[in-house]
Amino acid sequence: MNDKEMIHLTADELSFANVDERITDKKFDDKPIGYLKDAWLRFRRNRSSVVAACIILAIFLFAFLTPLINFRYDSRFLDSYYAKKGPRNLALSNVGIADGTTDRDFSERGLLRAVAIGVGAENWDGTPVTIAEGMESYYQPVRKVADPALKEDPKSGQMKELYSGKIDTYLEVGFIYRSVEQEEYRRILAWQEETGIRVLYPLIENNVYNEDPTDANFWYKSYSKDPVHVNADGSVQKLRYKGSTVLEDNYKRDADGNVVYYEYTGGGTFETAQFKIRVLYYNYYRYLNGFEPEYIFGTDSQGYDLALRMADGVRLSLLVAICVSVINLTIGVVYGAVAGYYGGATDLILERITDILAGVPFIVVATLFQIHLAAKVGAIPSLLFAFVLTGWIGTSSRVRTQFYRFKNQEYVMAARTLGARDPRIIFKHIFPNSLGTIITSSVLVIPSVIFSESMLSFLGIVKLGGADTTSLGTLLSDASSIWTNYPHLMIFPAIIISLLMISFNLFGNGLRDAFNPSLRGVEE
């Protein structure tokens, strides 16, 4: 294009095409993002760390809210009759969840013994009750009995005809004998009258038909360990499991033929006279506590509420772990910063001290402290001393490495040239750049401490199984020999420990990336 072909425009002929229009909807923010806000934005993009943080929060809430929600019990509430029972909740049991039942194979004799609990609960006045009627009882522990099939008997190892069914382990306790004062007996009678719930049941005759005088569940006549009917001529007839079968009671009766509910066993005065009574324990529990037994996670091997014991164990583990993490972080940061910043002879001396301490096995230290120190200061303080003695070495080593990395950077040399003192250089210029590694190491200490504390409790080196407190490791130790029959004792504490270990590791990794200054502004 030559000069003749060029078009010349004046200034008045020029104008902006989009003078009144928005070119883009994107808002540009030129304000600087703070260090903590930038760390939060980067942490939030790490989904696994966010999920881990939510799980940790949920476990925290479980540990601290369970005692408030489960207000019926406290951690000291113990009922040995309901030890090792499975989860039970009356609301959830309506849909077949947490109903306190377990699958079981019965021999005919064992099935009759279990069914007799529900039959005996209806036969409180000696009136004959059929097995079919007893199966409808609210207190019948046996549920869903199938026809007998040829199976291997787990006790004898021989092939036998066994009945498969479900049994409510709480109702299976059945009847027990108690010795109470006369005043207590009168209170039970009044409670029965007020609520309409029967607690007292007839005593059992101690004769040839009483298979076990110490077991209050053998209320029916039994001979050679089989339920029998005694004919008029004195002969016995073995009873079979059928709906029309009537178990013949073996109750004590007075001269008029009325069943006897108590007998005098001693005592000097009217108020202190001791009465032997036979009670249906499920209702006796309701009389004592005012509610039916409900344990959402079941009970432990001693009879404590497993949910409360687990909450106690989590609180103890978190308390110990956080205290150890904070102490080790403080000691490790100061120690590592001094060694890494000054170097030379200072670093050499400090490193030799850490080498000596690092050579001491932790389990030996923990054992010695429990043997010689726990009796004076308690098990938990001595455990803290064992963790702190060598636990800060890993943190100090990481901090030392970071200080060696950053202390000769240009910005540090510039600060030193401008007259900044050593404390300012350490904590203002070098420390923030090491923060990601430091925070990660301190957070990762928590799962390590939880695992170590649980291991020591599991091995019995640390004794934390009292009524006041317990440990997840102690719960696992108590369940180790019986978990095949009572799996909930092992499953629930193991799940909590596993979630704590995995979640804290993922959470620590997320914090490491979030607080790493070199990743500022990097989009993932």
Is residue 389 located within the same domain as residue 420? yes
Is residue 278 located within the same domain as residue 350? no
Q: What is the pLDDT of residue 81?
A: 95
Is residue 329 located within the same domain as residue 448? yes
Q: What is the pLDDT of residue 434?
A: 76
Q: Which domain holds residue 94?
A: 90-172
The CA-based dihedral angle spanning residues 38, 39, 44, 47, taken in that order and rounded to the nearest 10 degrees? 130
Band of residue 258 on the pLDDT scale cut at 50, 70, 90: very high
Say how many domains are in the chain. Answer: 3
- End-to-end CA separation in angstroms for the chain: 50
Is residue 158 located within the same domain as residue 185? no
Determine, yes or no, domain membership for 368: yes
Is residue 158 located within the same domain as residue 178? no
Name the domain boundary from 257, 289, 321: 289
Q: Which helix (H) or strand (E) holds 418?
A: none
Q: Which helix (H) or strand (E) holds 170?
A: none
Determine, yes or no, domain membership for 295: no
Is residue 206 located within the same domain as residue 115? no
Name the domain boundary from 289, 315, 347: 289
Main-chain dihedrals φ then ψ at residue 222, nearest 5 degrees: -135, 140
Q: Quick one: what percent of the chain has pLDDT higher than 90?
A: 42
**203: amino acid identity, one letter:** L
Q: What is the pLDDT of residue 273?
A: 84
- Residue appearing with tokens 């230290």: 365
Main-chain dihedrals φ then ψ at residue 332, nearest 5 degrees: -65, -40
**pLDDT of 465 higher than 90:** no
- Beta-bridged to residue 259, according to DSSP, are 253
Most confident of 121-125, 394-398, 403-407: 121-125
Q: Which helix (H) or strand (E) holds 279?
A: strand 274-280
pLDDT tens digits for 14-50?
A: 555 555 555 555 555 556 666 677 778 888 888 999 9
Query: Pick the residue with more confidence: 21 or 323?
Result: 323
**pLDDT of 83 higher than 90:** yes
User: Measured between alpha carbons, how far is 228 from 240 in angstroms, rounded to an integer?
Assistant: 9
Q: What is the pLDDT of residue 84?
A: 93
Q: What is the pLDDT of residue 14?
A: 57
Q: What is the pLDDT of residue 176?
A: 96
Q: Which helix (H) or strand (E) holds 467?
A: none
Determine, yes or no, domain membership for 120: yes
User: Measured between alpha carbons, how far is 506 from 524 in angstroms, rounded to an integer?
Assistant: 17
435-459 and 393-406 helices, crossing angle to 10°: 170
Determine, yes or no, domain membership for 40: no
CA 182 to each of CA 187, 270, 271, 277, 305: distance values in angstroms, whole numbers, following the listed order: 9, 7, 6, 10, 31
Is residue 216 located within the same domain as residue 355? no
**pLDDT of 210 higher than 80:** yes
Name the domain boundary from 262, 289, 316: 289
Q: For 119-128, 358-367, 458-467, which range has the lowest pLDDT when averaged over its residues? A: 458-467
**77: amino acid identity, one letter:** F
- ∠ CA 337-343-345, nearest 5°, is 125
Q: For 12-16, 36-40, 96-100, 353-357, which range has the lowest pLDDT when averaged over its residues? A: 12-16
Is residue 493 located within the same domain as residue 422? yes
Q: Residue 517: which of 36, 29, 32 has the closest Cα?
A: 36
Determine, yes or no, domain membership for 32: no
pLDDT tens digits for 168-199?
A: 999 999 999 999 998 899 999 999 999 999 99
Band of residue 53 on the pLDDT scale cut at 50, 70, 90: very high
- Over the chain, what is the mean pLDDT? 86
Q: In this structure, are residues 472 and 454 in contact, taking their beta carbons and an 8 Å threshold? A: yes
Is residue 384 located within the same domain as residue 439? yes
Residues 6 or more apart in contact with residue 508 via CB below 8 angstroms: 439, 440, 443, 444
Q: What is the pLDDT of residue 497?
A: 92
Give the CATH number for residue 371: 1.10.3720.10
- Residue appearing with tokens 């609990």: 117
pTM for this structure?
A: 0.82
**218: amino acid identity, one letter:** F
pLDDT tens digits for 497-507?
A: 999 989 988 98
Determine, yes or no, domain membership for 451: yes
Q: What is the mean pLDDT of residues 128-155?
A: 88
Residues 6 or more apart in contact with residue 472 via CB below 8 angstroms: 310, 313, 314, 317, 454, 457, 493, 496, 497
Radius of gyration of the chain (CA): 36
Q: What is the pLDDT of residue 406?
A: 81
Is residue 502 located within the same domain as residue 367? yes
Q: In this structure, are residues 375 and 360 in contact, taking their beta carbons and an 8 Å threshold? A: no
Q: For 278-282, 347-351, 372-376, which range has the lowest pLDDT when averaged over its residues? A: 372-376
Q: What is the pLDDT of residue 416?
A: 81
pLDDT tens digits for 105-114?
A: 998 999 999 9
pLDDT tens digits for 275-310?
A: 999 999 999 999 999 999 999 999 999 999 999 999
Q: What is the pLDDT of residue 120?
A: 95
Is residue 267 located within the same domain as residue 385? no
Beta strand pairing call for 262-266 and 236-238:
unpaired
Is residue 368 located within the same domain as residue 443? yes
Q: What is the mean pLDDT of residues 444-460?
A: 88
**pLDDT of 428 higher than 60:** yes
Q: Residue 44: which of 436, 435, 442, 524 has the closest Cα?
A: 524
Residues 6 or more apart in contact with residue 341 via CB below 8 angstroms: 403, 407, 422, 425, 426, 430
**pLDDT of 129 higher than 90:** yes
Query: Pick the residue with more confidence: 196 or 3?
Result: 196
Determine, yes or no, domain membership for 359: yes
User: Measured between alpha carbons, how far is 23 from 507 in angstroms, rounded to an integer?
Assistant: 42
Residues 6 or more apart in contact with residue 30 via CB below 8 angstroms: none
In order, the DSSP letters of 224-249 are TTEEEEE-TTS-EEE----TT-BPPB
Determine, yes or no, domain membership for 45: no
